[in-house]
């Protein structure tokens, strides 16, 4: 049982090291759905779904 915990701790540390090595973005996170729409082929329906999902997440419904 103790060796399992040691193993999990090691895996956790490895993940943290990888995350530090590869930051998701160095820029502050500011995201505009309109910019996304212009910059990609995301459809208006996809954007609407994402906005609903984001709203649900903010309100803790997810």
**pLDDT per residue as tens digits for the range 47-59:** 899 999 999 988 8
| Secondary structure, 3-state, the chain | CHHHHHHHHHHHHHHHHHHHHCCCCCCCCCCCHHHHHHHCCCCHHHHHHHHHHHHHHHCCCC
Do 29 and 23 contact (CB within 8 A), yes or no?
no
Tokens 């502050």 label which residue?
28
pLDDT, residue 19, reads: 64
pLDDT at 23: 57
CA pair distance 61, 46, nearest whole angstrom: 19
Per-residue pLDDT, 10: 84
Tens-digit pLDDT profile for residues 3-42:
888 778 888 888 777 766 655 555 556 667 677 667 667 6
Q: State the pLDDT at residue 7.
A: 78
- Supply the pLDDT for residue 62: 66
């Amino acid at each position: 049982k103790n060796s399992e915990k040691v193993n999990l701790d090691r895996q956790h540390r490895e993940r943290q090291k990888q995350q530090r090595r590869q930051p998701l973005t160095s820029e502050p996170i500011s995201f505009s759905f309109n910019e996304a729409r212009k910059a990609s082929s995301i459809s208006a329906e996809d954007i609407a779904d994402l906005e609903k999902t984001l709203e649900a997440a903010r309100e803790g419904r997810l």
